[in-house]
Amino acid sequence: MHDDISAYERQGFGATMAPKPPYGLLIVDLVNGFADPAVFGGGNIAPAIAQTTHLLAHARSQGWPVAHSRIVFADDDADHNIFTLKVPGMLTLKEAHPNSAIVPELTPAAGELVVRKTVPSAFFGTGLAAWLSQRGVQTLLVAGAVTSGCVRASVVDAMQYGFRPLVVSDCVGDRAIGPHEANLFDMRQKYATVLTREEAVRATLA
């Protein structure tokens, strides 16, 4: 093990955080624009969407609260922000634009929350934390895109709001594999449990 990696174990990072019911599922920004490599997609996002369809079916079968997030800016760009200075193309994600629509295979069902946001975190400036708390969620499974951006920001905020984040490693994706792997490592060390979909299903049925 490289010395810089072994330092995490030596300093006490990466402790076990067992999933604790009740469970909820957050699907971050799996919209058409992030599914399309010509827009904001690429990397391993397509396989993550395919795996998330199975995770969503499991969550629904178990009656978990399910929330989805979308990036949506005002038609006149009145809510432009620092995020859009760094990534100007985000301003193309409007309420009625197809790129901002959740991919068809993950279409929200009745009773599932759809969070509209203009920053990476699905929690910042939204009612998501209160919605999950009202439903008693203790452990929040997280899927979506991208691992190094909106997923990570949402996981950190989930932890800060007192939820136990469980990042489902094959249900999150990024346009580049290096940032995806680095951020899974970092979230595992500091903020979340990281499991594959099969492992997560087994853990939540235990």
Residue 1 lies in a domain: no
Residue 59 lies in a domain: yes
Handedness of CA 34, 139, 156, 8 (dihedral sign): negative
Q: pTM for the complete prediction?
A: 0.96
Q: Can 150 be counted among the known catalytic residues?
A: yes
pLDDT band at 1 (very low <50, low <70, confident <90, very high): very low
Q: How many domains does the chain have?
A: 1
Residue 6 lies in a domain: no
Q: Which domain holds residue 162?
A: 21-198
Marked catalytic residue, from 55, 137, 150, 200: 150
Mean pLDDT of 1-17: 85
CATH number, domain of 176, equals: 3.40.50.850
Mean pLDDT of 30-57: 98
The Cα 123–Cα 125 span in angstroms is: 6
Residue 191 lies in a domain: yes
Residue 60 lies in a domain: yes
Q: What are 149's two structure tokens?
A: 């951006």
Residue 203 lies in a domain: no
Tens of pLDDT along 28-39? 999 999 999 999
Residue 10 lies in a domain: no
Residue 2 lies in a domain: no
* φ/ψ of residue 113, rounded to 5: -80, 135
Mean pLDDT of 41-63: 98
Mean pLDDT of 176-201: 98
> Which DSSP string corresponds to the chain?
--HHHHHHHHTT-S------SSEEEEEE--BHHHH-TTTT--TTHHHHHHHHHHHHHHHHHHT--EEEEEE-B-TT-TT--HHHHH-GGGGG-BTT-GGGSBPGGGPPPTT-EEEEESSS-SSTTSSHHHHHHHTT--EEEEEEE-IIIIIHHHHHHHHHTT-EEEEEEEEEE-SSHHHHHHHHHHHHHHT-EEE-HHHHHHHHH-
Count of other CB atoms within 10 angstroms of residue 144 = 30
Residue 206 has pLDDT above 90, yes or no: no
Residue environment code for 115-129, b if the CB has 16+ CB neighbours within 10 A, otherwise e: bebbbbbbbeebebb
**Greatest extent of the chain over all pairs of C-alpha atoms, in Å:** 52
Residue 196 has pLDDT above 50, yes or no: yes
pLDDT of residue 195: 98
Structure-model confidence comparison of residues 1 and 120, the more confident one: 120
Q: What are 173's two structure tokens?
A: 């994706």
